[in-house]
Amino acid sequence: MNTKTKGIVAGVAGAALLLGAGGTFALWHDEGQVAGGVIRAGQLKVVAEDTRWFDVSPDRGDAQDLTNEVGQNLRWDVNWLGQEQTLPIGVTTQFRTLDPDDTGSGTGGVVGHPIDLPSWQAVPGDFVLGQTQVMAHTEGDNMDARLSVHGLSAGGDLAQGLGLKFFVTDRDGNVMAGAHDVSEATDLHLPGQGGHELRVFVLGTLPRDVSQQDLTGTEAALQDMTVMLEQVR
């Protein structure tokens, strides 16, 4: 083969090699595994215990300190006892007299004694206190829950002269929601997660101004109270 011919053959072979490389060449690659995970949902739960009742009339000679029963920090205070009510029979409640100095200093400790409500008989000037311990449990990193209390009412002739309010404290008796009329709902915001131990109280009175033979021998039946926990965020 002459020199001229060799050059032509070599050129054709080189062209064929380049074309073949362009059709089969691949870049390097590798693989790895990305771990999955588990997403857990939070929860809401509320549990209420049975109600315990106390005669908290402060002028009884045998009244005992109820600190261990109702929370060490609970003190009668006009600032959260709220406004008085005018009852259907025309008399006005006297809840604020439970605060002995009526200054809002919160110096009036809760005194009284436990009672069996079905057998207890009220007379004008008496105060009665019901306590229910409530555990509100919330779970969720962005949880914001609302606790509402509503639905308490009284029926019967005695209800015409019976003042009723309710309020909410923490486990130590620090007031979180001041006294409201039982016809009103109240809301508490419980941010974060964990257990919230609360006390829901019902405070009742038969005012001293009930006179003559008004309401003697009558009864008032308390309806169930509802404690509801719901997510707001």
CA atoms within 13 A on the CB side of 127: 24
Closest CA to 111 of 179, 57, 173: 57
Q: How far is 171 from 173, CA to CA, in rounded Å? A: 6
175, with CB counted inside 10 A (0-12, 13-18, 19+), is: buried
Cβ neighbours of residue 161 closer than 8 Å, sequence gap 6 or more: 87, 88, 89, 91, 206, 207, 210, 214, 215
- The answer, yes or no, to whether residue 106 has pLDDT greater than 60, is no
Instruction: Compute the average pLDDT of residues 57-71.
Output: 89
What would you report as the CA-atom Rg of the chain, rounded to the nearest whole angstrom? Answer: 37
Band of residue 109 on the pLDDT scale cut at 50, 70, 90: confident
Instruction: Compute the average pLDDT of residues 58-83.
Output: 90
Higher per-residue confidence, 181 vs 213: 181
Give me the pLDDT at residue 24, please. 58
- The answer, yes or no, to whether residue 37 has pLDDT greater than 70, is no
Q: How far is 183 from 168, CA to CA, in rounded Å? A: 15
Higher per-residue confidence, 30 vs 47: 47
* Backbone phi, psi, residue 147, to 5°: -105, 125
- Contacts of 87-93 with C-beta under 8 Å, sequence gap 24+, read 87/160, 87/161, 87/162, 87/163, 87/207, 88/160, 88/161, 89/160, 89/161, 89/210, 89/214, 89/215, 91/161, 91/207, 91/209, 91/210, 92/207, 92/209, 93/163, 93/205, 93/207
Give me the pLDDT at residue 34, please. 66
Give me the pLDDT at residue 7, please. 44
Chain segment 137-196, per-residue pLDDT in tens: 887 777 777 777 776 777 777 778 888 888 999 999 999 989 988 777 777 777 777 788
Higher per-residue confidence, 221 vs 114: 114
- The answer, yes or no, to whether residue 14 has pLDDT greater than 60, is no
pTM: 0.76
Cα-based distances in Å from 89 to 32, 86, 163, 166, 217: 81, 8, 11, 21, 16
Give me the pLDDT at residue 121, please. 87
Give me the pLDDT at residue 174, please. 94
